[in-house]
Amino acid sequence: MATLSIFGAQWGDEGKGKVIDRLAADVDYIVRYQGGANAGHTVVVGDKTYALHLIPSGILHPGRINVIANGVAIDPISFLGEVDGLIVRGVQINGDNLVLSSNAHVIFEHHKVVDGLAERWKGEGRIGTTGRGIGPAYADKASRTGLRIADLLDPERCKERLGAALAEKNALIKRVHEAEPLDLDSQLEKYSTLADRLRPFVADTGKLLRQAYRDGKSILFEGAQGVMLDIDHGTYPFVTSSNTGTGGIPAGTGFPPVWVEKSMGIAKAYCTRVGEGPFPSELTDEMGDHLCKVGREFGTTTGRARRAGWFDGVAARYAFELAGTNSWVMTKLDVLSGLGEIQVGVAYKHDGVRYEEYPAHLPCVEDVEVEYRTLPGWNEDISDVREWDDLPANAQGYVRALGDLVGAPVALVSVGPDRAAMVTCPK
Ligand code: GDP
Ligand code: IMO
Ligand code: MG
């Protein structure tokens, strides 16, 4: 494998961190290309658990180069807090194994303030964001009023551009939201101190990655969130503000699209979603509670309880097709142990019409009825299984059935949070 895109195929939290950490053992570069500290990627190694938000999930492997490319929105406070937290735990981090793009946009305090105020303003229509300033920062990028890391590192430019940005944001904060404005001088002081600490990590990451490819290095692109949260292709407006699938890579890195050779999706054996928005296969009954409890479905970033439901074959097929998928990893199969029967969504029904393909129009997705197929469950605890042949026949059948349903073969099955808890599927 020379270049591989790994992306979430549902609504995020599919177990990307675990899978990427595992695959990172065999690659040279691990690259984040979109999103920001809204992501929460959990990696479990033995008795240690790491929650990564901005730092790529290859950081626990010495000798790998971890890149945060231009498409990521970087909150310097979050970034440096994460760096410090990892160093305290004995992880080696410096400008050689962790590199930040000079062209990545910066999330400032006002972005986080506006994120919270905008959610309050929306009331019932709120998105349920992570409050990390993601939407406001990407909005400023698109309106060309944002600051990039290079601007932050240049005191004159920072003063000028942050001054202009804050003047506009303070008007919004004060006049529309009737909240407390931010003081420019104290913001400049705070962020100039942070800038000094960021400096050793900053480089031209596009150039770095293109050169790495020419040198024959292997590169893994780490998607955050999931395709159903994609700003263009997800359940808009209940989405995040970036392109979350393989399509986000070229713009978010400066790496030519034709150099991305393979694409691997990650999906849970069931579904979860955190925050507001349509979720056709959601279970609001005891079964939903059971999946949340056994799967420990609490957000890595906000600690919020996730919503749970059955595997949605319609949404997954759509996500795999959009992102271009050679194969996928099914995570959390262990969570389904002990269920007599398991339901799998195979089609949507709305106004008398049956959809096997995901309907692009949201109001329809909001009130579809899901048509399920029932598959037999298994009782055995499979969390210690490491070989395909040791999985119960019904668990093997479940994996095969979902591979057929979504039109892409399952390459690996994850059966526990630990790095080692993985089973390779036969071809
Ligand atoms: P990400 O955002 O896609 O990286 O996923 P998160 O880390 O937010 O959420 C996935 C959660 O499931 C984490 O707590 C992982 O430790 C855990 N996890 C990952 N794979 C498995 C698995 O196969 N089985 C179980 N039981 N837990 C898993
Ligand atoms: P990882 O990488 C799950 C959700 C939020 C909210 C919507 C918009 O861990 O899979 P935002 O703060 O991005 O503006 O919020 O997107 N969301 C996630 N849900 N996993 C994530 O990341 C998420 N990042 C954002 O809950 O509904
Ligand atoms: Mg997560």
Ligand 1 atom 17, closest CA: 417
Which residue, among 71, 100, 108, has the nearest Cα to 83 in the 3D structure?
Answer: 100
Residue 184 near residue 168, CB atoms below 8 Å: no
Q: Look at residue 300 and tell me whether its pLDDT is greater than 90.
A: no
Ligand 2 atom at shortest distance from the alpha carbon of 14: 10
More confident residue, 364 or 276: 276
pLDDT of amino acid 301: 79
Which residues does the annotation mark as catalytic? 13, 41
CA of 13 to the centre of ligand 2 (A): 9
Strand 422-424 versus strand 410-414 pairing type: antiparallel
Rg of the chain over Cα atoms, rounded to whole angstroms, equals 21
CA of 271 to the centre of ligand 1 (A): 12
Ligand 1 atom 13, closest CA: 42
- Residue 32 CB–ligand 1 contact under 6 Å: no
Q: Look at residue 1 and tell me whether its pLDDT is greater than 60.
A: no
Q: Look at residue 116 and tell me whether its pLDDT is greater than 60.
A: yes
Residue 295 near residue 332, CB atoms below 8 Å: yes
Ligand 1 atom at shortest distance from the alpha carbon of 414: 23
Distance CA 243, CA 227 (A): 8
- Residue 252 CB–ligand 1 contact under 6 Å: no
Ligand 1 atom 1, closest CA: 13
Ligand 2 atom at shortest distance from the alpha carbon of 276: 27
Predicted confidence band of residue 362 (pLDDT cuts 50, 70, 90): low
Q: Which of 227, 229, 242, 331 has the most ligand 2 atoms within 8 A of CB, as the residue to mutate?
A: 229
Helix (H) or strand (E) holding 369: strand 369-376
Beta bridge partners of 342: 375
pTM to 2 decimal places:
0.97
- Residue 265 CB–ligand 1 contact under 6 Å: no
Q: Render pLDDT for 251-271 as a digit per residue (tens, 0 to 9).
A: 999 999 999 999 999 999 999
Token pair recorded at residue 390: 């040791």
Q: Render pLDDT for 43-62 as a digit per residue (tens, 0 to 9).
A: 999 999 999 999 999 999 99
The CA-to-CA distance between both ends of the chain, in Å, stands at: 17
Give the DSSP letter of residue 174.
I
Residue pointed to by tokens 């939290």: 13
DSSP 176-233: IT--PPPPHHHHHHHHHHHHHHHGGGEE-HHHHHHHHHHTT--EEEE--S-GGG-TTT
CA 235 to chain centre: 15
pLDDT of amino acid 251: 98
pLDDT of amino acid 427: 86
CA of 44 to the centre of ligand 1 (A): 9
More confident residue, 365 or 329: 329
Domains of the chain in sequence order = 3-101+202-263 (3.40.440.10), 105-198 (1.10.300.10), 267-424 (3.90.170.10)
CA of 201 to the centre of ligand 2 (A): 26
Q: Render pLDDT for 400-420 as a digit per residue (tens, 0 to 9).
A: 999 999 999 999 999 999 999
Token pair recorded at residue 255: 């790496």
Beta bridge partners of 312: 345
Distance CA 168, CA 163 (A): 9
Q: Render pLDDT for 182-205 as a digit per residue (tens, 0 to 9).
A: 999 999 999 999 999 999 999 999
Q: Render pLDDT for 304-350 as a digit per residue (tens, 0 to 9).
A: 889 999 999 999 999 999 999 999 999 999 999 999 999 999 999 99
Predicted confidence band of residue 360 (pLDDT cuts 50, 70, 90): confident
Q: Render pLDDT for 135-174 as a digit per residue (tens, 0 to 9).
A: 999 999 999 999 999 999 999 999 999 999 999 999 999 9
Ligand 2 atom 26, closest CA: 275
DSSP 44-98: EETTEEEEESSS-TTTTSTT-EEEE-TTSEE-HHHHHHHHHHHHHTT---STTTE
- Residue 225 CB–ligand 2 contact under 6 Å: yes
CA of 146 to the centre of ligand 1 (A): 33
Ligand 2 atom 11, closest CA: 129
- Residue 101 CB–ligand 1 contact under 6 Å: no
Q: Look at residue 241 and tell me whether its pLDDT is greater than 70.
A: yes
Q: What is the mean pLDDT of residues 17-40?
A: 97
CA of 422 to the centre of ligand 1 (A): 12
CB neighbour list of residue 171: distance below 8 Å, 6 or more residues apart: none
Helix (H) or strand (E) holding 159: helix 155-171
